[in-house]
Chains A and B, each alone.
Chain A
C-alpha cells in the first residue's frame, strides 16, 4: 500500500481514491421520489404572493396608475407602484470598471416613470394567492404614452437615432477594439481571403423551474431571509443588503434545490428584488414564482449578435489572419452586477482561440435597445466566437480545397507549445488540441463517414459532417469580476468537521444546481481525508452556514470548490492524526487514515477507529494531555492566482442529414472530445458535456426569441419557442484528453459549458457540408427549415 507522504505521490494517488470514479450523486433519491425542496414548493406562515403588472409596450411613458379597483379586489394585501417601492429599495447600475467605457442607466425594481421593454414590471399586486394577485393585476389601470421603440442595434447607432437613456448621450453601451499582429499585411499577402456575415438569434434558458424567490423580512429580528433559486448566494446577500440599506449580516440567502440554472439564475432580476422589497414593506413573507410567459419576457436572453468576419489563408492551409466586427443588442439596461458587456468582450477574446494565427483584429459594439435584457448564459460568448472562428476555418478550407480536419491539424496550437498566449492575449497553461483532433478522428471513423456521405449523395441524400474546435474559460480568478469592482467572490471555501461518530460534515460555498457539486466535493474530501464516501455529508447554499464564496458559474465549482475541499480534507487529516498520535503515543507522520480507520502508514496495520478518536476528543478530553487541544474542524479556501482563467479545450463533430425538399435537418450522431484536466467523476463530466451540447444544439436549430419591429416578443410560450425534445436529439459520444492544471493540487478545470461552446458551430458547418453540392452557405442560426429552403432558392 502506498504511503501518501512518499515523494512523488500526490493526494490523487491515495489508497481507496474516489477521484476518477463515477460515484452516483448522494442527493438523487430525494429528487427521483418527488421529495426535492425547490423554492416554488415553499410555503411559509403568513406568506403572500406577488403578481406583476407588466408593460405591453417595448417603450412607453407611464402617465398614471390607478390602483383603486385592484386594492378592493378579493384577497389583495397591497398594490405597489415603482415610485412607492423606490422608497424601500435603491436602483442599481450594471457596470464594471475593467470594461472601460461601459455605461448603463439606473434600473429600478419596478419601473418608475417609463417602461423600457415589453414585460418590464410597472406595478406589483400582493394577495393571499397567486391567482388572486393575477386577478387583481388585471384591474390595475395604467395609462401609457407609447414611445418609439429602438429595436435594431444598427439603427440604434445610426446618426440621429433616438437615445433610450438621453443622459448617456447615445445607445452605445460599450465598445472594444483589438488589433494584434499585422492584419492588413496578412490579408494583402493571403492566397485567399473570405469574408462573410454571421447572424445569431436571441434565445433563452427556459429553466424548467422558472425563477422563484421567497423573501421573509422579520422586523423583530431586523433580518431578511431569502429563499432563492440562485447560483450565487453570497452575491445576492451583498446586493439585497446594499439596496435595502442593510448590513450583509442582516441578510441570509438560502438555496436548496434549483430547477435548472444555466446562467439564467446568476443575475439580479428586478422582479425578484421587488419581492424582497415588498417583504420588507409588508413585514411578512412574499413569494414570487415567474410563470412561463414572465420567464420568456424577463429571464435574460442570450446572444443576439451580427458579426462581419474575414479570414486570410495561404495555399498550404496556414491561416494568417482573422478579423471580426461584432454588434450585439443587450436590451435597455446592462444587467446587474455582471453586466451585459462580458459576452461581447468574450467574443473578442475567444475568436481564433484554438489556432496559432498571430494576426487578429476585432471590434465589438454593445448596444442598448428596447427588448428584454441580454446577459451571460451558459457558454458566454463561446458559441458566438466558436461559430465565427470555425465557420471561417471551414470557408478557408473550402477556398483552398483542403479537408476540414487537415486545415485544423495544420493550424491548432501544438500540444508542446505551452505555456503560450493567444493573439488576443489569453494565457494558456496546457491544452491538447492535437491530441483531441486525433481522438475525434478515430471516434468518428472520419474516412468511413466521408465514404458514406459520397455514396448517399449519389442517391440524393445530403448528409454533412461539421467540426468545431473550441477553448473554454473555466476556474476564473478575480480577473473576471472582482477587478472590475463587483462584489462577486472568486475564492471559495470548505469547512469540514469530524462528527462524534467519525463522519465528515462539509459546508462549502460552491452551490449545487444539479451538476453534481455535492458529489464531487464528497469524492474529493473522502479521498484527501480518507473515509468511505457515505461518511461525508456536504451542505451548500446557505450564507449563514457556509464559508464565503462565489457559487456556481463560469465552470468553476469543481475546480475551485474542489480544491478548497481537498485542502480542507488534508488539513483535517493532519489534525485528526495528531489526536490519534497522542492517544496511541505514536508520531502522527507514521499514521494515516484509510477507509475511516487510523492505520500505520507504512504497513496499513489498523490502529484505532475514527469514531473512537472522535469519542475520546469530544467526550473524554480529560484523558488527553492538558496542553493538547484537538481541533476537529478546519476551513480552507482556494482561488486561482497564477492564471486569470484555466482554459480547457475540445473539439466537436456533428453528423446530420438535410432534407433539401423540406429544409428539415435530422441530427444523426454527435461526438465531442474534451479536456477538463483531472476528471473527478467521469459520469458527471460526460453528462455536463452532453447537456451542454444539447443546449447549444437547440439555438442552432429551433430556439429563437422572435420579436416584431415594435419590440414585442411573438413567441413567449413553450408551444412556439421550441426547446429540444428527446426524439430530435442524437446520441452523444464523449471522449477525453486529460491535461491537469498545475495551479491546484487537484488539477481539475471546469466542464460545465464546454458542450455549449461548439455545438452550434458544428451544426452550421455540418449543414454547409451537406449542402456543398448546391454551392450555398448558411451563416445564421437558428437554421429553421425556411432558412435552408431560402438558401437553396426553393422559396
Chain B
C-alpha cells in the first residue's frame, strides 16, 4: 500500500514523513522517530502502555493511525520530561518506588498528569478509577496511588 505524506509537530519539532496508511501512531513514534519511551503492550487499546498526548489529550498510540495525526501536535514522555512538565510526578514515583520494571510508567505518568489537571486533589478511589485504563503488572497499584496522592499534595493543588 502506498505511503502517505504527513506533517505534524512532535515534542515541539516539526516532523515530515511518509507513512504506511496502516501504521499506528505508537509504531510511527517508536520505529520512525526513535521515540521508544512510548511502549507497546497489547495493540488493542486495553493496557495504556502506548499513551501519548494528541493535541493535549492523552490517547492510546495504538488506536490512532499515524496518518490521523497529520497536522496535529503529539507529545511523548520524552518531550514532556524534557519540558519539565511531569517533574513533580516523576520524583514522586521515584521516591515512592511506584514503578518496578518501568514499562507502564510513561503511560501511567501521562494519565496521572491528566488526572491532576482535571482534579487537583483526587481521593484514592478517584485515582484508582482514573488510572484503571493503565495496567501495571508489577506494583499492585498501591504505590502508584500513593505517589499520585503525594504529587497532588506537594503541588498544593497547582499542578500546571
Contacts and interface: CB of A to CB of B under 8 A. Distances in A.
Given A690-B143, A731-B124, A40 B47 contact: no
A33 B78 contact: yes
A386 to B, nearest CB: 18
Contacts of A515: 100
Contacts of B131: 726
Interface in A180-210: 205-210
A34 B106 contact: yes
Contacts, number: 176
Interface string B63-107: 000000000000011100100001000100111110111111110
A257 B101 contact: yes
Contact of A514 (B22, B101, B106, B141): B101
Contact of B104 (A208, A687, A728, A731): A208
A522 to B, nearest CB: 14
Interface stretch (A50-58, A391-399, A716-724): A716-724
Nearest to B49: A208
Contacts of A257: 101-103
A209 B41 contact: yes
B38 interface: yes
Interface residues of B, number: 59
A291 interface: yes
A668 to B, nearest CB: 12
B30, B37, B133, B141: most-surrounded residue (chain A CB, <10 A): B141
Contacts of A24: 94-95, 97
Nearest to A210: B41
B20 A690 contact: no
A515 B40 CA distance: 21
B144 interface: yes
A32 interface: yes
B145 interface: yes
A718 B42 contact: yes
A514 B76 CA distance: 22
Contacts of A210: 41
Contacts of B144: 726
A729 B142 contact: yes
A604 B47 CA distance: 54
A28 B94 contact: yes
A292 B101 contact: no
Interface string A624-668: 000000000000000000000000000000000000000000000
A476 interface: no
Given A690-B139, A725-B132, A729-B140, A514 B102 contact: yes
Contacts of A131: 20, 22-23
A752 to B, nearest CB: 11
Contacts of A258: 101
Number of contact residues on A: which range applies?
35 or more
A260 interface: yes
Given A208-B104, A258-B101, A514-B102, A729 B128 contact: yes
Nearest to B102: A31
Contacts of B154: none
A292 B41 contact: yes
29 contacts: A22-B97, A31-B101, A31-B105, A32-B81, A32-B90, A36-B36, A38-B36, A38-B103, A43-B31, A43-B34, A207-B101, A208-B47, A208-B103, A208-B136, A259-B103, A260-B103, A292-B41, A516-B100, A684-B97, A687-B143, A695-B140, A717-B46, A719-B44, A719-B46, A723-B47, A726-B127, A726-B145, A729-B128, A731-B142
Interface of B: 20, 22-23, 30-31, 34-44, 46-47, 49, 76-78, 81, 86, 90, 93-97, 99-106, 109, 124-125, 127-129, 131-145
Interface of A: 22, 24-25, 28-29, 31-36, 38, 40-41, 43, 129, 131, 205-210, 257-262, 291-292, 513-516, 683-684, 687, 690-695, 717-719, 723-729, 731-732, 755
Given A41-B36, A257-B102, 11 more contacts: A24-B97, A28-B102, A32-B81, A129-B31, A131-B23, A208-B101, A292-B42, A690-B140, A718-B46, A731-B145, A755-B140
